[in-house]
Amino acid sequence: MSNTATIKDQIKKLVDIQTMDLEIYRLKSELKEKPIEVEGLKAEFEAKKTGLKVLEDKLKALMLKQKEYEGDLKVKEEAITKADGHLSQLKTNKEYSAKLLEIESIKADKSMAEEKILIGFDQMDEARKAMEAEKVVVANYERDFQSKKKVIDDILALADDQLKVKQSQRDRLTPDVRPDILSRYDRLVQNKDGLGIVPVKNQTCQGCYMHLTEQAMNKIKINEELMSCDMCARILYFEEEL
Ligand SMILES: [Zn+2]
């Protein structure tokens, strides 16, 4: 077998491997990038949940405050009942007038407590509405997140499966390539975005689009040795020469 035939044969094999490798490269990128996409969506969803938690805490705080106001009102009511009970026991007009004043004062405090309770009810009502509305938003968000995640999980499972197939298909081709050629090609694939061997079209490297000299073109055509692009170092070939 002449060297020309050998090189040509090796190039054909590399081109077949390259077809697999491009697919492998694409699948690996997908397997790397899609989970990051899921993380992003999850972070957005978590942020929404935190927002809801803030509204829930606000409502809880208002409810606690309301309990406080109600306790305060009860104290005032009891004080009024107690003071009212004292009235009948008082002997002098002075004492009686003083007690009446005291009762009026407690009643004023009681009114204030009632007012606070009414305002509290409005605030709680508002906070509850905001919370309920946000709950719906978060529920929708969760549904949306879960369905997007499902789509991505399915893509990942499929990509994983396809990757295994492609890799085993590739493994069947590599023993036919000379180890020195294969390792040169593999290094290029590693370092040049998955592209180690590219065709020449319109006297241009299809990896980096550098224009090739006539001399380089002739060398590639005769297939006596593996030719590399001076610019990107990828192995070059003519599709029509294979
Ligand atoms: Zn190039």
Q: What is the DSSP letter of 175?
A: G
Question: First and final CA of the chain: distance in angstroms?
Answer: 16
Q: Mean pLDDT, to the nearest integer, of 102-110?
A: 97
d(CA 33, CA 15): 27
Ligand 1 centroid to 32 CA: how many Å?
Answer: 27
Q: Mean pLDDT, to the nearest integer, of 54-82?
A: 97
Ligand 1 centroid to 213 CA: how many Å?
Answer: 12
Ligand 1 centroid to 175 CA: how many Å?
Answer: 27
Ligand 1 centroid to 220 CA: how many Å?
Answer: 13
Ligand 1 centroid to 176 CA: how many Å?
Answer: 25
d(CA 92, CA 118): 39
Ligand 1 centroid to 231 CA: how many Å?
Answer: 5
Ligand 1 centroid to 209 CA: how many Å?
Answer: 6
Ligand 1 centroid to 113 CA: how many Å?
Answer: 83
- Entry field: residues in the chain: 242
Q: Mean pLDDT, to the nearest integer, of 122-149?
A: 97
Ligand 1 centroid to 86 CA: how many Å?
Answer: 105
**Residue 215 carries which side chain, given as an amino acid letter?**
Q
Return all residues near 225 (Cβ < 8 A) that are at least 6 apart.
Answer: 3, 7, 219
Ligand 1 centroid to 8 CA: how many Å?
Answer: 19
Kindly report whether the global pTM for this prediction surpasses the value 0.85: no
d(CA 229, CA 125): 73
d(CA 184, CA 28): 21
**Which is nearest to 241 in space by CA: 8, 7, 1?**
8
Ligand 1 centroid to 55 CA: how many Å?
Answer: 59
pLDDT-based confidence at residue 241 (cuts at 50, 70, 90): confident
Percent of the chain with pLDDT over 70: 98
Say what the pLDDT of residue 115 is: 97
pLDDT-based confidence at residue 5 (cuts at 50, 70, 90): low
| pLDDT mean across residues, the chain | 95
* For residue 1, pLDDT beyond 60: no
pLDDT-based confidence at residue 4 (cuts at 50, 70, 90): low
**Which is nearest to 124 in space by CA: 69, 73, 72, 66?**
66
**Which is nearest to 210 in space by CA: 227, 189, 194?**
227
d(CA 13, CA 3): 15
Q: Mean pLDDT, to the nearest integer, of 10-25?
A: 96
Strand blocks (E) in 71-221: 197-201, 204-205
Would you state the structure tokens that stand for residue 70, as one six-digit string?
A: 């109600």
91 three-class SS: coil
**Residue 15 carries which side chain, given as an amino acid letter?**
V
Ligand 1 centroid to 146 CA: how many Å?
Answer: 44
The CB density around residue 119, as the number of other CB atoms within 10 Å, is: 12
Write down all domains in the chain, each with its CATH number in brackets.
Answer: 31-171 (1.10.287.1490)
Place of tokens 């509290």: 120
Ligand 1 centroid to 12 CA: how many Å?
Answer: 19
Ligand 1 centroid to 238 CA: how many Å?
Answer: 14
Q: Mean pLDDT, to the nearest integer, of 43-63?
A: 96
